[in-house]
Structures are given as C-alpha cells and as structure tokens.
Chain A
C-alpha cells in the first residue's frame, strides 16, 4: 500500500533532523543507549503532534522536546541510581552512566577531548545545552534562542558562563593551563 503524504512527510522530517536530535541527546547525556531512547521518544512525540507542529519551526520544536526528554532521562537516571545507592551524591549519580569513555574520544585517542566532554556534562543547565548547540552543532544565537525559548542576550550570557566554567573545570580537575 502506498504511504500517505502524511507518512512520507514524517519520514522525510526524521531523515532531515535525526542527526541533530540524536547528537544533542548524545552530547547532553554522554550515553549512546540513552540518547537512542531519547531520540526515538522525540520522534514518536512528533508523530503524535504531527498535525499541530508548524512545518517551518519543526527544527526548534524538536530541539526543545529533545532537551525536555533529556531532563526526563536524567531524572530517571537519578531515581534509579538512588534506589541502588541511596548514599550517592548528585554528581556521582549524574556521571554514573557516563564513566565509559565516549566512542569519539576513544577513537581520537585524546585525553583532552575526554576531559572536555566530562567537564561539559558537569555543567548546569541551560549552559550545557547552549554550549552543545553553539559550539558542537553550530547553531546561530537566534536559533538557540528559539529552540530553548530564551532571550537572545540571555543565550550570550549563558554561553559566556558555560565557557568560563569549562575552563575552570579543566584547570582545577585536570591541571590545564596551556594548550593540550
């Protein structure tokens, strides 16, 4: 049976945006399996709201939903970890699923990259999201503002704070004072 226009449009949208959604979730969570679950959930939500999402703004909508789904995943991770280790602090819980090296840092053989990504995942929100969207995925300030529903100047402020925090972490935790 020929798929309907709706089904064809939905599949095309997945093909167009899957990389951005999955990458955002991956760098946010630091866990490929969780990122895969989040990405699936995001596109299933898109299907459920397919009729109401503005076609011109689907990219922003997807990033926003991805961010929310990542928050949900973090909450789930925290509650699961607390069930297993009630005495664990929030930081150890946060990094519990990300102790394994990222595939890309292992492949690159770079300690600096591994330290950098660990420091990235220790950033608070929304600095973490702003840094990922700006520095890794190359979005413009206006696109980030739209996706995260933040004023433009606020995006710039969060970017500045995030960068500064990254440098502090690399210096304090890994002794970086010069280029790697």
Chain B
C-alpha cells in the first residue's frame, strides 16, 4: 500500500523541483524531495515535465552559420589590394583628375601672365623716310603759318628768337618720336622758299 503524500509539502517541493533537476540541492533536501515525489503523482508529473523540457532543450543542436554568409562577411571585410588602395588614395586626394586639370590650367595662366609682365617694352617702330618727310613738311608749314601771323600782326621776329623760342623746342619735341631720322634733318630753316623763315625786318 502506497504511502499518502503529505500535500503540505507540495508547494515547497514544487519550488525545489528545478534545483532538484539541476542537482543543486544538498543531500538531505534532495532526499526529502525524492521521497515526496515517490508518493505524490501531481508533483511527480510536474517533475517529469521539467525533465522533458530540459532534455529537449539540451538536445537542440547548435547550428552552423551558412558558409555563403560567412564568405560574404569575409568578402566585405577583405583588405583591398595595393592597386585598389592606390586608386582609392588618388580618388580621394588632391591628385584627382579634375583637380589636376585645374591646377595645370592655373599654372599655365600664371606663367603666361608672368611672361607678359616680364617682356621687354616694345621698341617703338622705326620711322620710315616718308613719315619723317611728312613731319618735316608739317613743321615747316607750322613755322610758315607762325611767320604769316607775325607779319600780319606786325611783329618782328629775329631769326635767333624764332629759332631759339620756337624752332628748336619744336625740334626737340619731334626728336623724341623721330630720334634717328631727325639727326639728318636740318634744324635751321632754308633761306629762300619758306616765307616764315624770311629774315625781314620791318621798320617801326
């Protein structure tokens, strides 16, 4: 005849069942629980369920990560080759093609600018004989006009005054532009055919 279980022990036993299944109880307490389980079907069923759950969970396998997934991670974390690193460095550095182009253009512009600034002053164009001849003619005309005006105004101009105060300063001004050619142009006016150069003296 089976012994009637002490149901007052059930709550305490139920609380101890997990530790009992884990083997975490002292020998004395373990013995008490075992004794109660032998006589109490309710607690025994609960103990069986605890063991079944534990056993099933313990038997579940640890699963391997699919090899394709591992390969994908390794591929994404692979170190780039020397060539790829160099390409990346060029792409992200100031040596980018568009920056190279801009830099080269800027340097060329600077060089052209410096060349322009440093070039020697342009040599004035050499005067040609026709140009000099025309300038002399114009100067003589101007002198003749001055002489005519003086004559009408009744002014007397001596040759020296005309030469010193008009002809020579005018010639010096022309010399700046026609330097070489004027060396051969006589400064003193011709005697006969230029009315402004006549050395007449009017009696007052």
Residue ranges of A at the interface with B (Cβ–Cβ < 8 Å): 1, 3-4, 6-7, 10-11, 14-15, 18-23, 26-27, 36, 39-40, 43-44, 47, 104, 110, 112-113, 116, 120, 131, 135-138, 160, 163, 166-167, 170-171, 176-180
Contacts and interface: CB of A to CB of B under 8 A. Distances in A.
B161 interface: no
Interface stretch (B64-72, B123-131, B147-155): B64-72
Interface string B51-66: 1111011101111111
B64 A22 contact: yes
7 contacts: A26-B63, A44-B73, A44-B77, A47-B76, A116-B57, A177-B45, A179-B52
A42 to B, nearest CB: 9
A39 B81 contact: no
B77 A136 contact: no
B114 interface: no
B138 to A, nearest CB: 87
Nearest to B54: A135
A179 B54 CA distance: 11
B163 to A, nearest CB: 97
Interface residues of B, number: 31
Contacts of B48: 178-179
A40 B72 contact: yes
Contacts of A20: 62
A126 B62 CA distance: 20
B86 to A, nearest CB: 13
A131 B53 CA distance: 11
Nearest to A43: B73
Contacts of A138: 58
A170 B69 contact: no
B69 A116 contact: no
A44 B49 contact: no
Contacts of B64: 18-19, 22
Interface string B67-106: 0011011101111011000000000000000000000000
Q: What 4 A-B pairs come out closest when comparing CB atoms? A: A135-B57, A22-B65, A18-B65, A23-B62
Given A27-B60, A44-B73, A21 B65 contact: yes
Given A44-B73, A47-B77, 6 more contacts: A14-B70, A14-B74, A19-B65, A20-B62, A120-B57, A171-B49
B79 A178 contact: no
Given A7-B77, A167-B49, A136 B60 contact: yes
Nearest to B48: A179
Given A1-B81, A14-B74, A178-B45, A136 B57 contact: yes
B145 interface: no
Nearest to A138: B58
A23 B49 contact: no
A110 B65 CA distance: 24
Contacts of A44: 73, 76-77
